[in-house]
Homo-oligomer: A and B are copies of this chain.
Amino acid sequence: MTKSSCYDATVMSPAPPRSGLREVTRRAVQAEIANTAMTLFVEQGYEETTIEQVAAAVGMSGRSVFRYFATKEDMVVGSMAQVGHDIAAALRTRPAEEPAWEALRRALDEPLRALNDDGGIALARSTLLTTTPALRAAQRQKHAQWNELLVPGITPRLEGSAASRQLQAEAIVAAALACLDVAVDEWTRSGGEKPLDELLDAAIAAVRG
């Protein structure tokens, strides 16, 4: 009965289109909460950290924290919604005649590089993600949303009836994101040593072999 949250989160401001300055400060506060939370989570564990502790660390009431994040999990995975939109945007810039897999793979280049580059933080977050069941679940849910975001960019690259292309696109996107998950997991296990792009390419090659 709790946490219906009805909308997504993180940018959980669909109703009031915040007016300029308000929005900026809101983002800032949101970012500070997220950072503080991440620090605490890494220090003492996700489950062992209460909302009250995070709130105290940022200097606000627990109630107010929930005015910035719909759920505790969103403090960690909230930003993934944005990444999903970025990938979808990148996909839209790919040439129309590019094959589905190729376009998808290229659309992942940018976020992949982002992960690989700021090694430290991304790796810490990824480790936290993979070691906390509740967070893994939340992460998977975000990925499912990526699916819906990416499918429209794939259907026009396929052949067959509309219904058939829909199913094909869903399958391809789901499989590609599954490969991404596998690659990121391996990357995380390797402590960020192995190059992410090669892992992803290997995963895709295995699937399509």
| Interface mask (A104-125 → B, CB under 8 Å = 1, otherwise 0) | 0000000000000000000000
Contact A137 B133 (CB under 8 A): no
Interface residues of A in 134-190 (CB under 8 A from B): 136-138, 140-141, 144, 158, 164, 167-172, 174-175, 177-179, 181-183, 185-186
**A89 adjacent to chain B (CB < 8 Å):** no
**A63 adjacent to chain B (CB < 8 Å):** no
Contact A138 B141 (CB under 8 A): no
Partner of A202, one of B4, B164, B174: B164
Q: How far is the CA of A208 from the CA of B207 in the complex (A)?
A: 7
Q: How far is the CA of A86 from the CA of B182 in the complex (A)?
A: 23
Q: How far is the CA of A144 from the CA of B136 in the complex (A)?
A: 10
Contact A182 B208 (CB under 8 A): no
Partner of A171, one of B1, B141, B203: B203
**Closest residue to A165 on the B side, CB-wise?**
B206
Contact B167 A174 (CB under 8 A): no
Contact A1 B137 (CB under 8 A): no
**A204 adjacent to chain B (CB < 8 Å):** yes
Q: How far is the CA of A50 from the CA of B171 in the complex (A)?
A: 36
A43 — which chain B residues lie within 8 A by C-beta?
none
Q: List 13 A-B contacts (CB under 8 A).
A: A1-B47, A136-B141, A136-B144, A140-B144, A167-B206, A171-B182, A171-B202, A171-B203, A171-B204, A171-B206, A172-B206, A178-B178, A208-B208
